[in-house]
Chains A and B, each alone.
Chain A
Amino acid sequence: EAGVAQSPRYKIIEKRQSVAFWCNPISGHATLYWYQQILGQGPKLLIQFQNNGVVDDSQLPKDRFSAERLKGVDSTLKIQPAKLEDSAVYLCASSFGTGADQPQHFGDGTRLSIL
């Protein structure tokens, strides 16, 4: 089966600019996750979707970050405006079910550098 697809792989922007990331999960996976992984740390959940509804966005900085999954398949994550501390890898993952006992399948991420 095809894995989780993410684009772009790399992005370099200046602070205060905006950026968007795209994710296409594994076909049939109802749950989609966006994580932020700062260098040397583990992934931190930003938002979790089940189909096109938000399950958990408690750690999403909503003043600058937004995400959508309009048709319950692919998803976009946007940052506007970007800050220096947003430099990180943004990982998308998907799972068949919604519970925390479901293995998550990750894409290779987008590495974001803020100048």
Chain B
Amino acid sequence: SQQGEEDPQALSIQEGENATMNCSYKTSINNLQWYRQNSGRGLVHLILIRSNEREKHSGRLRVTLDTSKKSSSLLITASRAADTASYFCATGTASKLTFGTGTRLQVTL
């Protein structure tokens, strides 16, 4: 079963705009991770945020976590065509990581 559910399912923006993806989940977690998957490739780890953290940054990425609402968001600032990919949240318990359904991001020139 898939714990996390991303919203929107698909997102199309122009280069230079910001992209925001949301992830909602159902049960308590220890951490939440975001991954990127380019077409035909494996997943690439982007960022991890622990349950006692509220916000984390990495380059053009900003992740927030609200454990009271059981939700997280991934913001990509100043998007580039190379950011075109599917983005997955993954919720971590003590021993298991469960991936969501993904958001497909298209960045056009």
- Whether A101 touches B2, Cβ cut-off 8 Å, given contacts A43-B43, A45-B96, A91-B43, is no
- Please give the distance in Å from A44's CB to the nearest CB on chain B: 7
Which residues of chain A are within 8 angstroms of B90 by Cβ–Cβ distance? 42
Mask: chain A, 36-48; 1 = CB below 8 Å from B; 0 = not: 0000111111000
B95 touches A108 (CB 8 A): no
B2 touches A41 (CB 8 A): yes
A100 touches B94 (CB 8 A): yes
B50 touches A42 (CB 8 A): no
Which of B4, B44, B94 meets A99, CB within 8 Å? B94
A25 at the interface (CB under 8 A from B): no
Bin the interface of chain B by size: 20 to 34
B102 touches A42 (CB 8 A): yes
- Whether A103 touches B48, Cβ cut-off 8 Å, given contacts A41-B101, A42-B2, A91-B42, is yes
In Å, the complex CA distance between A45 and B2 comes to: 10
A41 touches B43 (CB 8 A): no
With both beta carbons as reference points, the residue of chain B lying nearest to A92 in the complex is identified as: B42
A56 touches B96 (CB 8 A): yes
Please provide the chain A residues from 67 to 107 with a CB less than 8 Å away from any CB of chain B in the complex: 91, 93, 98-101, 103-107
- Please give the distance in Å from A24's CB to the nearest CB on chain B: 13
Which residues of chain A are within 8 angstroms of B98 by Cβ–Cβ distance? 45
A-B contact pairs, 17 of them (CB 8 A): A35-B99, A41-B2, A42-B2, A42-B101, A43-B43, A44-B2, A45-B96, A45-B97, A93-B42, A99-B92, A99-B94, A99-B95, A100-B30, A100-B93, A100-B96, A103-B45, A105-B45
